[in-house]
Structure 1
């Protein structure tokens, strides 16, 4: 569902995430992942799915004291239309192997197409997202908050603050 659906008011089925909220939810994800790595509970590295996974990955890397962080760039959206997933940039091959001990982090799993592509490349990695929609849940190992499939999530990096008229007018 696009937020530009003319049959809906702007606030319907929209989940607005603030910077504070993404920070809290990313920390909660880090706490859930703490001690779960295959190497005495530790993780070898973190790979952020760009671009949405970068902020959560940075927070999780800090919380878990993981210093090795890389990115994978997968394009699956053209503006707000989802298409076929395409890997534009891969992480360091020596780091990745089959993914054992690696956390793959994204902000959201929607249909699961992006994670499916990455999981095919690194089948033993642990996939974690902050938010998950039902269609994508089977592709993720750990997530914090589930949202309905028809909810559009507005992330803080996609928004700007602006003045809003009061509900009852300005008299």
Structure 2
């Protein structure tokens, strides 16, 4: 029997890795928009989608960036998804030509809510878990459903006990 907690099956992601993976996502999305290959705008799902969206906007030279704020977690506990702040409705329309960016799709509850609002948007995440993957149009890395991704914005450097103890 293991003394490890379920969230300790972790995938630790550094700032460098987020940057590399977000650039790889930008390369996959380049010239894939519906309007002659171009995208009208990026909408980042806050908070996790902000860093990847900034990198993708830079790589694809997209100047129009907005956000949608969806709350679906309290720390590591999933709660019903709700929109706290929506993007400009004149920009969004039905979502056509819009890239919706998030760091991760887990169960898909967040993307399901946003996809219902903007059915023609293109949904892209850096990381995907199997349960939410069908809601994503483009992603870079898949991890197992029981893996917890530790993003650099959630971490601090500190000593960690060796796996087999001291």
Q: TM-score range by the shorter chain?
A: over 0.9
Alignment of 1:151-170 (within 5 A): 151-164=147-160
C-alpha distance 10-18 of structure 1, shift in aligned 2 (>3 A): farther
- Secondary structure of the residue aligned to 2:44 is strand
Contact 2:8 2:148 survives alignment (8 Å): no
- Secondary structure of the residue aligned to 1:118 is helix
Aligned residue pairs: how many? 165
- Secondary structure of the residue aligned to 2:39 is coil
Alignment of 1:75-86 (within 5 A): 75-86=71-82
Distance (whole Å) between structure 2 residues aligned to residue 165 and residue 129 of structure 1? 32
TM-superposed deviation, 1:161: 1.3
TM-superposed deviation, 1:9: 6.2
TM-score (norm: length of structure 1) = 0.91
TM-score (norm: length of structure 2) = 0.93
- Secondary structure of the residue aligned to 1:58 is helix
C-alpha distance 112-165 of structure 1, shift in aligned 2 (>3 A): closer
**Structure 2 unmatched runs, 5+:** none
**Structure 1 unmatched runs, 5+:** 1-5
Q: What's 1:109 paired with?
A: 105
